[in-house]
C-alpha cells in the first residue's frame, strides 16, 4: 500500500473512534482515552513514524502529531494534516508538529501553585552566589 492509502485508512479508523474519543475527553475518562489513543497511535506510527497526542482545549479538541527531527516523518505528518476529513477538521485542531509555546499560551497554562515567579528564582540564585563567594573567601 502507498502512504496516501495508509493515511486514508488511518483517518477512516480515526472517524470510527472519533465520537467515543470526544466523549472520553469531555468526561476526562483517562483509561478510555489511553485505550483509544494507544490503538490509533500504533497505526499512526506505522504510517508516518510519528506518535500523536490529544487534548481537550477550550471546547475544542486538539490532535498534535509529533514527528520529531525526522524530515520524512515531518513531511508525512503534513500530508496527514492536509488529508484529514472535513468532519474531523470541523471539531479538531490538527497540528502537524509540536507548536512553540507563545506568551499568550504561557498565560493560559494553569501552573501548579508551588511554581515560583521568575523574579524570586533570580533573587535566590543571586543570594546563593553571594553565600558561595563568602564561604570560599572566608
> What is the reported pLDDT for 102?
62
> What is the reported pLDDT for 111?
54
The answer to whether residue 16 is domain-embedded is: yes
Question: Nearest to residue 25, comparing CAs of 49, 54, 58?
Answer: 54
Q: Which residues of the chain have pLDDT under 70?
A: 100-138
The answer to whether residue 83 is domain-embedded is: yes
> What is the reported pLDDT for 55?
86
- φ and ψ of 129, to 5 deg: -65, -40
- What are 70's three cell numbers? 525526522
> What is the reported pLDDT for 127?
47
- Residue 63 contacts residue 48 (beta carbons within 8 Å): no
- Residue 56 contacts residue 23 (beta carbons within 8 Å): no
pTM for this prediction: 0.68
What whole-number distance in Å separates Cα of residue 37 and Cα of residue 51? 10
Question: Nearest to residue 78, comparing CAs of 106, 58, 135, 70?
Answer: 70
State the residue range of the domain holding 90: 3-99
The answer to whether residue 126 is domain-embedded is: no
> What is the reported pLDDT for 78?
92
> What is the reported pLDDT for 103?
65
> What is the reported pLDDT for 15?
93
**Domains identified in the chain, total number:** 1
> What is the reported pLDDT for 85?
93
> What is the reported pLDDT for 104?
62
Amino acid at each position: 500500500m502507498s502512504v496516501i492509502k495508509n493515511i486514508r485508512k488511518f483517518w477512516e479508523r480515526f472517524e470510527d473512534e472519533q465520537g467515543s474519543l470526544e466523549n472520553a475527553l469531555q468526561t476526562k475518562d483517562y483509561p478510555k482515552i489511553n485505550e483509544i489513543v494507544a490503538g490509533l497511535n500504533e497505526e499512526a506510527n506505522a504510517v508516518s513514524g510519528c506518535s500523536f497526542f490529544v487534548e481537550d482545549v477550550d471546547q475544542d479538541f486538539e490532535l498534535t502529531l509529533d514527528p520529531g527531527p525526522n524530515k520524512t516523518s515531518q513531511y508525512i505528518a503534513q500530508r496527514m494534516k492536509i488529508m484529514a476529513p472535513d468532519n474531523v477538521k470541523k471539531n479538531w485542531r490538527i497540528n502537524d508538529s509540536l507548536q512553540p509555546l507563545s506568551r499568550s499560551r504561557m498565560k493560559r497554562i494553569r501552573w501548579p501553585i508551588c511554581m515560583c515567579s521568575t523574579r524570586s528564582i533570580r533573587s535566590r540564585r543571586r543570594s546563593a552566589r553571594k553565600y558561595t563567594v563568602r564561604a570560599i573567601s572566608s
